[in-house]
Amino acid sequence: MGNIRNSKNDPAVFTSIWIPEFDRKLAEISLAEIAEINAHNASVFWQWREQALGLRAFYRQLQQTRQSITAKN
């Protein structure tokens, strides 16, 4: 059994286990396209965040108004 590789120390064994074959192919999408998509996603995220914060403030104010009306009655 003279040709057995030590999987703990051999980078060739480690690479063949952890890096699948599909990671070695060229990307079919450019970095410019990825940057454009990331910029769009960030923009949408901030819109949703602003809307969520606005709704949170609205419902907090609505809850306080209801509580003050209930306390008066």
pLDDT for the residue numbered 1: 44
d(Cα 17, Cα 34) in Å, to the nearest integer? 28
- DSSP state at residue 8: T
Query: Has residue 65 been placed in a domain?
Result: yes
The reply to whether the predicted model has a pTM over 0.75 is no
Is residue 7 within 8 Å of 14, Cβ to Cβ?
A: yes
Query: Has residue 17 been placed in a domain?
Result: no
Domain count, the chain: 1
**Bigger pLDDT: 1 vs 72:** 72
Q: Count of CB atoms within 10 A of residue 11's CB?
A: 7
Query: Has residue 47 been placed in a domain?
Result: yes
